[in-house]
Every structure is written in C-alpha cells, then in structure tokens.
Amino acid sequence: MTESHSKLPEIPILYRDEHLIVVHKPSGLLMHRSPISQDTVFLLQTLRDQIGQRVYPVHRLDRATSGVLLLGLNPDIARDLVTQFESHQISKSYHALVRGWADDEGEINHPVADEEGNNIPQEAVTRYRCLERVELPVEISRYPTSRYSIVEAEPLTGRRQQIRKHFKHISHHIIGDTTHGDGKHNNYFREHHGIFRLMLTSKQLGFTHPVSLEKIRCDALDELEWQRLNSIFK
C-alpha cells in the first residue's frame, strides 16, 4: 500500500540558503510525475511542501539512486546552475557496489542511448577508481567464491542511467540493479545482507554559489545499507 504524502519522513537537507537547496534524495523516490509510473509521491512536490516554496531542478537522479541533489529556489538561480553543469564546472562523484574486482582505475567510453528521445546512442564517458575489494567464500555462479568492489565513479557526461549501463558494459554490474544488473548477486545481497535497493549513491557534489561565488561541497549521508557493508569490507 502506498504511504500517504503526509506520512513520509522529511527529506534531509544538506545545505540551504535563500537561493538554493541541497538535499539527500532517498532511494526509491521519483523526481517528478511520470506518465509511465503509478507513483503518487515525488521529490519535487514533497520538498516543496516541506519547505513551503517551489523548487527548481538543476539535475536529476534516477528513482533508484540516492544521494546529493542540487535544486534552485528560483528560476534564475536554477538556470545559472544548469549552465555550470553543462560547462562541466560542477564536480560530482558516486559510490557503487559492483560485482567482481574492479581495476584500480579506468575510464569507460561507451555510447549510451537516452531512451527518452530518439533512442540513438550518444557519447558517454565515466571515470572510476576502486576504493575497496573483497572476496567472499560464497558460491553464486560457477566459482567457489564471489568477488565485489566498491568504486567511486565520476560521469563526464550526463546520459540517462549512464553509470549503471557503463558498469554493465565492463561486466561489473551494480548490486541491486534490477534492469542492468545480475539477478543472482542481487538475490544474495537481499537474502544475506538485507539490501533490497540499488547500491548507487551520489556521494559528493561541488559547485560555485551563483551569488556569493563561494565554493560549496556537499556529501551524502551515511545510509544504512552502506553501513551494512562494513561487516563485509573489513
């Protein structure tokens, strides 16, 4: 049963002033109404009701992705921040739990189809580096052990589901990805570690304030599912 809007917990605010707001988007929450979804609760509406004023999206996160999200509090500020994104003046990084042992670092340059327009593949580039690796004595496929990595990913382009598609492309599927992932490994983490979500988080966002010109950096909250991995990656 879908929860009513009033029963939803407040969206955590990481930074706010009279011009803009940065929040921690929960996993499983759509940004806005979609004709292909039956959801009745959306981040933009929920946040508007929470703070008592309209918010203007600057970028987006997939429904399943959690983490740092930047929004303007008026159209002019939002346009300025969008320009920063388009000119690559905003830094952003993601953390992902993937199957297999990822290389120390790498760059994935592989076209990605937008799926919302003409579905023609467009240039897409993601840099990454491996933060941690673990090998577990668990047989899931044809091997007696299973390997996993936590990676930091930096998308240099902004295609829809780019990071998810890119890590599938190099056979390091993100855990919890029901569209581009590996079902056997997803099931293992559901059954043994209580992780039922996509393990992809917008971890850090850095930008220049459009008015004060101050350099601002916001970090995602430490979510429960990531805390559960501490017992695995030790």
Give the CATH H-level superfamily of domain 7-231: Pseudouridine synthase (3.30.2350.10)
Q: What is the pLDDT of residue 3?
A: 39
Q: Tell me the longest C-alpha to C-alpha distance in the chain.
A: 57
Q: What is the pLDDT of residue 2?
A: 39
Rounded (5°) CA angle 174-179-185: 45
Tell me the CA distances in angstroms from 21 to 58, 81, 177, one per residue in order: 11, 12, 28
Q: What is the reported pTM?
A: 0.92
Q: What is the pLDDT of residue 62?
A: 92
100 φψ region: left (φ > 0), alpha (ψ -120 to 50), beta (else): left
Q: Which residues are catalytic?
A: 62
Q: What is the pLDDT of residue 1?
A: 35
Q: What is the pLDDT of residue 70?
A: 98
First-to-last alpha carbon distance for the chain, in angstroms, is: 38
Question: Tokens 């059954």, residue?
Answer: 191
**Of 41, 53, 107, 111, residue with least CA distance to 77:** 53
Question: Tokens 């581009």, residue?
Answer: 180
SS3 sequence of the chain: CCCCHHHCCCCCEEEECCCEEEEEECCCCECCCCCCCCCCCEHHHHHHHHHCCCCEECCCCCCCCEEEEEEECCHHHHHHHHHHHHCCCCEEEEEEEEECCCCCEEEEECCEECCCCCCCEECCEEEEEEEEEEEECCCCCCCCCEEEEEEEEEECCCCCCHHHHHHHHCCCCECCCCCCCCHHHHHHHHHHHCCCCCCEEEEEEEEECCCCCCEEEEECCCCHHHHHHHHCCC
Tell me the CA distances in angstroms from 187 to 140, 178, 197, one per residue in order: 10, 10, 11
Please, are residues 188 and 146 in contact by the beta-carbon 8 Å criterion? yes
Q: What is the pLDDT of residue 38?
A: 64
Tens of pLDDT along the chain (234 residues) come to 333 344 567 999 999 999 999 999 999 999 976 655 666 678 999 999 999 999 999 999 999 999 999 999 999 999 999 999 999 999 999 999 999 999 999 999 999 987 665 678 999 999 999 999 999 999 998 889 999 999 999 999 989 899 999 999 999 999 999 999 999 999 999 999 999 999 999 999 999 999 999 999 999 999 999 999 998 997
Q: What is the pLDDT of residue 32?
A: 76
Please, are residues 57 and 44 in contact by the beta-carbon 8 Å criterion? yes
Q: What is the pLDDT of residue 4?
A: 39
Contacts of 207 (CB under 8 A, 6+ apart): 70, 81, 84, 89, 90, 91, 215, 216
